[in-house]
Amino acid sequence: MKSPQYLPLLDNHGLLQIPLRFYGLLLLLLRPYISWLAELSMMRSQHSLLSQFYPRQHDFLVACLIALPLLLLVAALSQRRPKGRRFWCYLWRPGLWLLWLVTLADFGHSVSGLDGDVILDAPWRLWAPVLLLLAMIWLAFSKTLPLIFKEWPEQLPAGSKS
C-alpha cells in the first residue's frame, strides 16, 4: 500500500502556508527587541526587565545587532502577497540562510554569555539556548521551509482582477 500523497496547506494567495513554528522562531530570535519594547512600556522601577535577561549592557547591544537582519526578513514577509513590492523578493529568497546564520550566532552568543552559576542565579536564561537548539534541529529537518523561501507571488498584470 502506498503512503498518502503530501498535500501542502495554501494560504489565501495560493502560497504555501507559513507554519506557526516559523513565527515562534522569529519571536525567539527577536527577543532583544521585544524585551526592549516591554521595558519601554513598563513603569520605571528599580529592577529592569532587560537586566534580567541581559545582565551586561554589552550583551543586549550584541543581541540587538545579531537580530537586526531579521527585521528585514519580517519586512519581506509582510510583502509576501500578490500586490507586494517585488524588491522584497530578493531579500526573501536567501532568507533561510539568513535565518540559519542569525540562529547560529544567537545560540553562540547565548551560550557564551552564560555564567557558571546560571542554574542557581537565573535558570530562566537557559531557556533561550535550549529553544535555539530545538530551532536548529527544526531548520535542519524541515521539508516545507525551503519551499516557502523559494516561492514568491507572481505579479498580476495591470488590467486583471484578483
Tens digit of pLDDT for each residue in 91-140? Answer: 899 999 999 999 999 999 988 877 777 666 667 778 888 899 999 999 99
Domains of the chain, by residue range, sit at: 21-39+52-150
Separation between Cα atoms, residue 65 and residue 155, nearest integer Å: 33
- Nearest Cα neighbor of 9 from 137, 144, 149 is 144
> In the predicted model, what is the mean pLDDT of the chain?
83
Residue in the block written with cell 519601554: 40
* pTM to 2 decimal places: 0.81
CB distance 144 to 19 below 8 Å = yes
pLDDT of residue 120: 63
